[in-house]
């Protein structure tokens, strides 16, 4: 499905970055190819993500009925009501055990050419990472264990630099950061195809979950409308605050 490339083609990336705008009105007469949208989702899965845990799901919606339900759940925003298709990025932090198992199986198979007592330091570390560190980071009991880990890291932090973001709320941020990167990778991939998108956080998460029959423990990261822009669908020139005011060079 994927291939490595060493080709340096920054022009197309810059074009995609400039082309991407949040589009609020799509042209109902211009269809998009669902296969291309799917390809862009595949590209989104190549986004960097925390510990490569891939605690995400991408729901690609083309069904008219579900699109209608989602548009309502997105508070009737025009970008949702005029969308040709939608993609919902969902955080599945609850799948951490399954993901660690997948990693352990993958690594064990990868290293299986030799007995385990001959594993290199790096190989041992990789296996331990998924066997011990990930359960430590993601394991929790109603948020209580998270506070204990937080206290341990705070105490350790008095003596040496340590990782501190271990509470339930911190792990939620960790998972959403990665999902956000995947969402942006998807939108840039779409822009490279001259397809338009608009990320949305203005939605009723309960209704979105109901429309997609998502489990209670899942979290909706972003709903992304897709289509081809109408000229009036882009609300004016891009506005950004002066670069000098947000760029700090140390
Ligand atoms: C996390 C996130 C949530 C957003 N939610 C909405 C939304 O609910 N509705 C909307 O019309 N635009 C939404 N936007 C789009 C922003 O308003 C838009 O990115 C910003 O105004 C900059 O414009 P540009 O994307 O065209 O560069 C969202 C963007 C992000 C990143």
> What residue owns the CA closest to ligand 1's atom 19?
22
Percent of the chain with pLDDT over 90: 86
Read off the tokens for 39: 């390809």
Ligand 1 atom 6, closest CA: 200
The set of residues, in sequence order, having a beta carbon less than 8 Å from that of 129 and lying 6+ positions away, is 51
Is the Cβ–Cβ distance between 146 and 166 less than 8 Å?
yes
CB 219 within 8 A of CB 176: yes
Structural domains in the chain?
23-95+184-234 (3.40.109.10)
pLDDT in tens, 13-40: 999 999 999 999 999 999 999 999 999 9
Q: How confident is the model at residue 146 (pLDDT cuts 50, 70, 90)?
A: confident
Long-range Cβ contact pairs of 127-132 (< 8 A, separation 24 or more) = 129/51, 130/100, 130/103, 130/104, 131/100, 131/104
Q: How far is the CA of 146 from the centre of ligand 1 (A)?
A: 32
- Looking at ligand 1, which residue's alpha carbon is closest to its atom 10? 200
Backbone angles phi, psi at 60, to 5 degrees: -100, 115
CA of 139 to the centre of ligand 1 (A): 33
Nearest to 185 by CA among 24, 31, 20, 6: 20
pLDDT of residue 196: 98
The strand pairing partners of 199, in sequence order, are 224
Task: Judge whether 245 and 45 are in contact, CB under 8 Å.
Answer: no
Q: What is the pLDDT of residues 148-189, one digit of tens each?
A: 988 999 999 999 999 988 898 999 999 999 999 999 999 999
**Ligand 1 test: best mutation among 178, 184, 200, most atoms within 8 Å of CB?**
200
- Please spell the DSSP secondary structure of 179-227, one letter per residue: HHHHHHHHHHHHHHTT-EEEEE--S-HHHHHHHTT--TT-EEEEEEEEE
Ligand 1 touching residue 22 (CB < 6 A): yes
The response to whether residue 76 sits with its C-beta less than 6 Å from ligand 1 reads no
Distance 201 CA to ligand 1 centre (A): 8
Residue 198 Cβ contacting ligand 1 at under 6 Å: yes
pLDDT (tens digit per residue) in 70-125:
999 999 999 999 999 999 999 999 999 999 999 999 999 999 888 888 999 999 99
Q: Return the SS3 of 90.
A: strand
Q: Does residue 230 register a pLDDT over 80?
A: yes
Distance CA 74, CA 223 (A): 8
């Amino acid at each position: 499905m994927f291939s490595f490339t060493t080709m340096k083609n920054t022009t197309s990336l810059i074009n995609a970055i400039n082309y991407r705008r949040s589009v609020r009105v799509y042209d109902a007469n211009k269809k998009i190819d669902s296969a291309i949208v799917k390809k862009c989702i595949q590209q989104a899965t190549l986004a960097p993500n925390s510990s490569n845990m891939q605690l995400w799901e991408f729901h690609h919606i083309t069904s008219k009925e579900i699109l209608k339900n989602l548009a309502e759940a997105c508070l009737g925003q025009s970008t949702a009501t005029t969308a040709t298709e939608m993609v919902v990025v969902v955080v599945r932090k609850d799948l951490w055990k399954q993901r660690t198992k997948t990693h352990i199986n993958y690594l064990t198979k990868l290293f299986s050419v030799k007995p385990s007592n001959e594993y290199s330091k790096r190989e041992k570390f990789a296996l331990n990472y998924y066997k011990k560190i990930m359960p430590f980071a993601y394991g929790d009991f109603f948020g209580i264990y998270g506070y204990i880990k937080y206290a341990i890291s705070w105490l350790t932090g008095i003596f040496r630099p340590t990782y501190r973001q271990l509470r339930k709320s911190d792990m939620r941020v960790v998972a959403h950061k990665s999902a956000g990167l995947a969402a942006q990778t998807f939108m840039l991939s779409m822009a490279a195809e001259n397809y338009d998108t608009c990320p949305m956080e203005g939605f009723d998460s309960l209704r979105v979950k109901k429309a997609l029959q998502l489990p209670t423990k899942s979290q909706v990261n972003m709903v992304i409308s897709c289509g081809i822009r109408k000229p009036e669908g882009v609300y004016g020139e891009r506005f950004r605050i002066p670069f000098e005011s947000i760029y700090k060079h140390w």
